[in-house]
Amino acid sequence: MQNRGSYLDALGVEQWVSRGGAAVADPLLATPVAPQAPAAPAPPAAVRASQATPVTPAASGEPAWLTLQAQVAACQRCALHAGRLNTVFGVGNPGAQWMVIGEAPGAEEDKQGEPFVGRAGQLLNAMLLAIGLPREQVFIANILKCRPPGNRDPLPQEVAECLPYLERQIALIKPRILLAVGRIAAQNLLATDTPIGKLRGQLHRFGAAQTPLVVTYHPAYLLRSPGEKRKAWDDLKFARRVHRELGQAG
């Protein structure tokens, strides 16, 4: 199994060795993050779910969650349904404390029906692990459930039709924090056209529940611009601090 260091390498985060001998990438990393540390082998899914949701039952077995899944699978609200192979509902723990929200499925996601399965997905997994979060522990979804042709940006009308599904997912999961990855996710969730560079590094709130929301760069952008990975690492540390200090009780 890869250790935290290899995930930090993927993020381009330099490491140095402390006098005690442990590799340290940042003073914050020296702070134990025991409940979410990736060092131990993952427990069975049922155990994972109950650990992640001490008070709220996982939404996955609830009628409301199953109804939502069925609605998305059958959706024809916009023209994207005509070109899709699969809807991409989202993946992960429906009782998660962390929800990661990207833009829209790409070609591989459309084929597999799962978000972030390509190269950008591998980097996203590395980013999450760098703050102690295995992919299975979070819930990952997109602004759109269907792939736009040629991976073009989502159209406003597509977002308007699809966003209620995501809002319903957020309402059922009740995450402690939302991590918006990329401009499209951030601007649509926050209903703004402010550039992503200005949305980073701030605590935002989303929806009626005022869920804390943090913005970072999209992993596909980081693959094209590796020099920006340091900023993404700062964002992740900020999000981890927000989760610890400001998350809703439970």
Provide the residue type at 104 as one letter: A
Based on the shown chain and the rule CB under 6 A, indicate whether residue 148 belongs to the binding site for ligand URA. Answer: no
Minimum Å gap between C-beta 108 and ligand URA is 8
d(CA 17, CA 161): 50
Contacting ligand URA (CB under 6 A), which of 65, 87, 91, 103?
103
Contacting ligand URA (CB under 6 A), which of 105, 148, 154, 212?
105
What are the backbone angles phi and psi of residue 104, rounded to the nearest 5°? -165, 160
Minimum Å gap between C-beta 115 and ligand URA is 3
Contacting ligand URA (CB under 6 A), which of 109, 158, 161, 235?
109
d(CA 110, CA 92): 17
Based on the shown chain and the rule CB under 6 A, indicate whether residue 188 belongs to the binding site for ligand URA. Answer: no
Nearer to ligand URA, 5 or 134 (CB): 134
Q: Please give the residues from 8 up to 47 whose contact with ligand URA meets the rule CB under 6 A.
A: none
Half-sphere exposure of 146 (CA within 13 A, CB side): 22
How many residues in the shown chain lie near ligand URA by CB under 6 A?
11
Q: Please give the residues from 207 up to 246 whose contact with ligand URA meets the rule CB under 6 A.
A: 220
Residue 45 token pair: 């899914």
Half-sphere exposure of 214 (CA within 13 A, CB side): 24
Based on the shown chain and the rule CB under 6 A, indicate whether residue 116 belongs to the binding site for ligand URA. Answer: yes
Nearer to ligand URA, 142 or 216 (CB): 142
**Cα dist from 187 to 10, 71, 145, whole Å:** 27, 25, 17
Minimum Å gap between C-beta 206 and ligand URA is 17
**Cα dist from 10 to 5, 42, 96, 106, 243, whole Å:** 9, 21, 24, 22, 23
Nearer to ligand URA, 24 or 190 (CB): 190
Q: Name the 3-class secondary structure at 13.
A: coil
Contact set with ligand URA (CB under 6 A): 102-106, 109, 115-116, 120, 142, 220
